[in-house]
Amino acid sequence: MVFWTGAIAIGIISVGFARLADEAQTIFAHAINVEGWLRFLPILVTPCGFVICAWMAWRFFPGSQGSGIPQTIAARHLREEVEVGQILSLKTAAGKILLTVAGLLCGASVGREGPTVQVGASLMLQAARWGGMARARGLILAGSAAGIAAAFNTPLAGIVFAIEEMSRTYQSRTNGLVLSAVILAGVASLGILGNYTYFGVAHSSATFPGDWPIVVSCGVIGGALGASFSYLTLRLTRRIRRWQPHDPFRRMLIVAALSGMFVAVIGVATGGLTFGTGYAEARDAVEGNALPVSFFAAKLVVTLASTVSGIPGGLFAPSLSVGAGLGSTLGVILGADIGLAAVLGMAGYFAGVVQAPMTAFVIILEMTGNHANVIPLMTASMLGYGTARLVSPEPLYHALSRLFIADVLRRQRANKAVDDRS
């Protein structure tokens, strides 16, 4: 009963999180969709919002920064309950939701799906504590899978994500936990929102051999760009952490302000297209409407700035938006169907970013509802993954998780040194 309660709570809270995130984006879009000087309002609001979000994460919700998936992966490798509680707790989950919504309210290019993973794992562990259950890696895995499934309404993708990305292996003893959590969270989500496809239904399907140039192009180019994004994210994150190591608070404020200003300038220059999750733009492309040729590049760089800024927020939705923009552009160049090209671009680019090809094609297949494209999506995802491994062999989320583990070990050594002196 404790486990069931936790899984159902994940579904309900994920739905509430989604509605808050959508409302925040709507408010920001209405605020900047005006004539005159008010359209430049993000130049002030976005940097200030980034600074406030980064400061609140630093001061009140440590461990809530960034996507949430690296923290959850790190928690599976930590042994002490206190260590896990620093990044998976109700307080952290509340801060993750609050600050991700606040980031969207000021125009950040972030998503809510990665944060939902950390929220789901936190809720599942808290339910286990209340019920007197021993902490297990399987519970973290189950909470993560339930979070993804409820966030996207993609139950199969939740299971594949848990196996491929979170654990990097199949463990038969945890498959019952994962499956049960996904079912219960999915039932709760369906009970509130009903059955739906995240990006609507893609009606176009690839034909052989006429459409296979776009399949190969989206896979190879998308994988290379996705890997480049991951490489730059890791390089910038590590460089920022080495900069001013003795004054991390000042460093945090400066990085957040500069990142916010960059996002604001690009957003204003593109007429507001690059603000927020990019859900609306991706859906337009999937439905066959070509996006501006430069959209994918602009969205990529503002997502990079938002990711390294130190504010809470995920990569899933913005990455899918970049992929849809890339596919739209390649579709225009190659004369392919825009809707088909957008879906293939999402698969190639997303597989390149996360280096999890099964998760990529399953999640996009479920979000677009077109099972006629199974083989083309698999092909684009595998080409994206293979290309990404050549460009950046280090998977993004697992590389970032090691930074959180290092922080925990560093705090342990500092505490031990204090104890030894006393």
Sorted by where each starts, the structural domains of the chain and their CATH numbers stand as 2-193 (1.10.3080.10), 212-397 (1.10.3080.10)
pLDDT at 192 over 90: no
Q: What is the pLDDT of residue 134?
A: 60
CA distance 154 to 247: 43
pLDDT at 123 over 80: yes
CA distance 250 to 248: 6
Query: Residue 212 is which amino acid?
Result: W
Q: Residue 10: which pLDDT band, with cuts at 50, 70 and 90? A: confident
Select from 350, 272, 274 the least CA-distant residue to 315: 350
Pull the structure tokens for residue 266. 């690009």
Select from 114, 190, 71, 99 the least CA-distant residue to 363: 114
Q: Does residue 248 have a cis peptide bond before it, meaning omega lies within 30 degrees of 0? A: no
- What is the SS3 assignment for 294? coil
Select from 380, 373, 374 the least CA-distant residue to 349: 380
DSSP for 25-54, please give it. Answer: HHHHHHHHS-SGGGGGTHHHHHHHHHHHHH
- Kindly provide the b/e burial profile for residues 335-362, where b requires at least 16 CB atoms within 10 angstroms of the residue's own CB: ebbbbbbbbbbbbbbbbbbbbbbbbbbb
Q: Residue 174: which pLDDT band, with cuts at 50, 70 and 90? A: low
Q: Residue 166: which pLDDT band, with cuts at 50, 70 and 90? A: low
CA distance 356 to 162: 11
Q: What is the pLDDT of residue 154?
A: 73
Average pLDDT, the chain: 85
CA distance 8 to 188: 6
Give the residue, 223 or 149, on which the prediction is more confident: 223
Close Cβ partners of 112 (under 8 Å, ≥ 6 residues apart): 17, 18, 21, 100, 101, 104, 151, 277, 313, 314, 317
pLDDT (mean) for 114-128: 87
Name the DSSP letter for residue 167.
S
pTM of the model: 0.89
- What is the SS3 assignment for 312? strand
CA distance 376 to 378: 5
Lowest mean pLDDT among 53-67, 114-128, 130-144: 130-144
pLDDT tens column, 280-326: 899 899 888 899 999 999 999 999 999 999 999 989 889 999 999 99
CA–CA distances in Å: residue 329 to residues 14, 279, 323, 399 = 33, 17, 10, 31
pLDDT (mean) for 222-245: 91
Pull the structure tokens for residue 225. 């760009």
Q: What is the pLDDT of residue 327?
A: 95
pLDDT at 95 over 90: yes
Cα of first residue to Cα of last residue in the chain, in angstroms, is 46
Lowest mean pLDDT among 56-65, 192-201, 209-218: 192-201
pLDDT tens column, 327-349: 999 999 998 999 999 999 999 99
CA distance 73 to 58: 20
What residues are paired with 66 via a beta bridge? 312
pLDDT (mean) for 160-175: 63
Q: Residue 185: which pLDDT band, with cuts at 50, 70 and 90? A: confident
Report the chain's C-alpha Rg in angstroms.
20
Q: Where are the alpha helices (DSSP H) in 244-373?
A: 248-269, 279-286, 295-308, 316-334, 338-354, 357-368
CA distance 251 to 381: 37
pLDDT at 31 over 90: no
Q: What is the pLDDT of residue 196?
A: 59
pLDDT (mean) for 361-375: 82
pLDDT at 91 over 80: yes
Q: What is the pLDDT of residue 133?
A: 67
CA–CA distances in Å: residue 2 to residues 11, 28, 127, 143 = 15, 39, 6, 13
On whether the CB atoms of residues 48 and 106 are closer than 8 A, the answer is: yes
Question: Which of 31-45, 129-143, 322-336 has the highest average model confidence (pLDDT)?
Answer: 322-336
- What is the SS3 assignment for 76? coil
pLDDT at 109 over 90: yes
Q: Residue 44: which pLDDT band, with cuts at 50, 70 and 90? A: very high
